[in-house]
């Protein structure tokens, strides 16, 4: 249960990060092709993380429901549960690795993500 809560929290954080990547504006010094390549790479990494996290929770509870309904043997339940857990771990690690590579590429290109300072008020 605690692992599922952790998976949900990671999934929400990855989703928020995807929104930040989508809102990022292209700096003037970066070509549109480079910016789009960076954005696609970063979104692909976070899509993997979101899929791994939410997929783990949905598949885990779905399998538990079906296993209880059809009386699956305990060994099969443990095997599928372990497979889902280690698949989730692999997905999250892959997300962190791919997102780190995209972050480094963004830094090399001069792309800044995250919250921005509000624009200064214009003088009348």
Which residues neighbour 22 within 8 Å (Cβ) at sequence distance 6 or greater?
A: 39, 43
Per-residue pLDDT of the chain (124 residues; tens, 9 = 90+): 889 999 999 999 999 999 999 998 888 888 999 999 999 999 999 999 999 999 999 999 999 899 888 888 988 889 999 999 999 999 999 999 999 999 999 999 888 876 666 667 776 6
What was the pLDDT predicted at 90?
97
In the structure encoding, which two tokens stand for residue 80, read together? 């599928």
Rounded Cα distance, 4 and 60, in Å: 9
By the 10 Å C-beta count (0-12 exposed, 13-18 middle, 19+ buried), 104 is classed as exposed
Rounded Cα distance, 53 and 87, in Å: 10
Residue 119 lies in a domain: no
What was the pLDDT predicted at 117?
61
**Helix H or strand E segment including 7:** helix 2-23
pTM recorded for the entire structure: 0.83
What was the pLDDT predicted at 56?
96
What was the pLDDT predicted at 121?
76
Domains held by the chain: number: 1
What was the pLDDT predicted at 9?
96
13 C-beta neighbours (distance < 10 Å), count: 14
- In this structure, what is the dihedral angle of CA atoms 85, 87, 93, 99, given to the nearest 10 degrees? -130
What was the pLDDT predicted at 28?
86
Domain containing 70: what range? Answer: 2-109
Residue 124 lies in a domain: no
């Amino acid at each position: 249960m605690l692992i599922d809560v952790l998976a949900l929290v990671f999934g929400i954080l990855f989703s928020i990060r995807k929104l930040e990547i989508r809102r990022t504006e292209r700096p003037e010094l970066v070509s549109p092709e480079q910016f789009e390549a960076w954005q696609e790479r970063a979104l692909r990494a976070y899509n993997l993380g979101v899929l791994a996290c939410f997929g783990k929770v949905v598949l885990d509870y779905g399998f538990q429901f079906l296993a209880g309904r059809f009386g699956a043997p305990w060994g099969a339940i443990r095997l599928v549960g372990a497979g889902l857990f280690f698949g989730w771990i692999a997905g999250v690690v892959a997300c962190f690795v791919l997102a780190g590579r995209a972050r480094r590429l963004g830094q090399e290109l001069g792309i800044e993500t995250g919250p921005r300072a509000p624009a200064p008020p214009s003088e009348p």
